[in-house]
Each structure stands twice: as C-alpha cells, then as structure tokens.
C-alpha cells in the first residue's frame, strides 16, 4: 500500500503541477497525511473494484471504481505517463462495469485528466470545485454511457 500512496503523491505533485498551483497540490495531497491515507485507501481499494498495473516490477498505475460505477481514482506514475497504462486500466474498469450491467460510469476528473477522459468518450456533466484544507480545487464531473454490447 505504501507504494500505491507514494505513486499518488508523486503523480499529483509532478503531473498535476501543470494545471494546479503549489498551494492546491499541497491541499490535494498533503505529505504529512501519507500514513493515514495508506490505512484509509487499503480499506476502500479492497471494497472497490481495483486494478494495479506493474512495469519492470514496480507499480506503474492504479485505479478503482465502486460497484455502482463511480471511477474513484486513476493515477499513473510520473515516469510511465503516455504509455497506454491509464487506457488499459480504465478499459478494465469499463469491461467490469459492463459485466455488472451498469449503464454508465462517472468520475470527478482533474483538469489534467479531463482530456484523457474526453478521448475515451466521457462527456463533461459539470465543472465543479471541491475544497481541501480551505483551498478550492476545480475539477470536472464526467460521465460515459456504456453500450450494452
């Protein structure tokens, strides 16, 4: 679990730096919360439908979705960006959603991830903000309708 949480922190503080300020990144992924996050994520990743991608013996990315189709997390290590890992992970979740006979998947995508999701057929439902530690973070509530075949 430590490697998954470290991947999250590394990705947020490097990849997402293109679209969020240092203050926003520190609120989104405060380094002093890593131990608590590992414990909380262990439980939620076990409860959710979760996938991990490995490259060269290291975790390259991970994702998870609730059984009702909420794509909760999708993170790819900063050194493995643009290699198809996110596409593969989300593809696995979409196949599982179809198997569960869900009609759509929802996610709250970062500004950084929005183009990726648009490229996979997700549409913007609304732009929104969340507040973390008193700091406002914009993101995009997105949905993908799933075909039944």
Task: Check residue 35 and give its pLDDT.
Answer: 86
pLDDT at 113 over 90: yes
- Domain span including residue 57: 2-145
pTM of the model: 0.94
The domain that contains 62 carries what CATH number?
3.40.630.30
pLDDT of 46-65, one tens digit each?
A: 999 999 999 999 999 999 99
Average pLDDT over residues 33-46: 91
Task: Check residue 30 and give its pLDDT.
Answer: 94
Mean pLDDT of the chain: 95
Is 111 within 8 Å of 118 (Cβ atoms)? no
Between 34-47 and 2-14, two packed helices, what is the crossing angle to 10 degrees?
110
**Counted domains in the chain:** 1
**pLDDT bracket for residue 149 (50, 70, 90):** low
Backbone angles phi, psi at 113, to 5 degrees: -85, -15
């Amino acid at each position: 679990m430590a490697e998954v949480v470290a991947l999250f922190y590394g990705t947020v503080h490097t990849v997402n730096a293109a679209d969020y300020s240092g203050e926003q990144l520190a609120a989104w992924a405060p380094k002093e919360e890593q131990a608590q996050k590992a414990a909380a994520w262990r439980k939620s990743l076990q409860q959710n439908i979760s996938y991990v991608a490995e490259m060269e013996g290291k975790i390259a990315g991970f994702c998870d979705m609730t059984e009702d189709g909420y794509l909760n997390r999708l993170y790819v290590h900063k050194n493995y960006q643009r290699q198809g890992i996110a596409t593969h992970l989300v593809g696995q979740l979409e196949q599982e959603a179809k198997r569960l006979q869900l009609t759509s998947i929802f996610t709250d995508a970062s500004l950084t991830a929005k183009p990726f999701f648009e490229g996979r057929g997700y549409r913007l439902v609304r732009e929104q903000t969340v507040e973390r530690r008193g700091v406002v973070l914009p993101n995009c509530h997105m949905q993908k309708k799933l075909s039944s075949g």
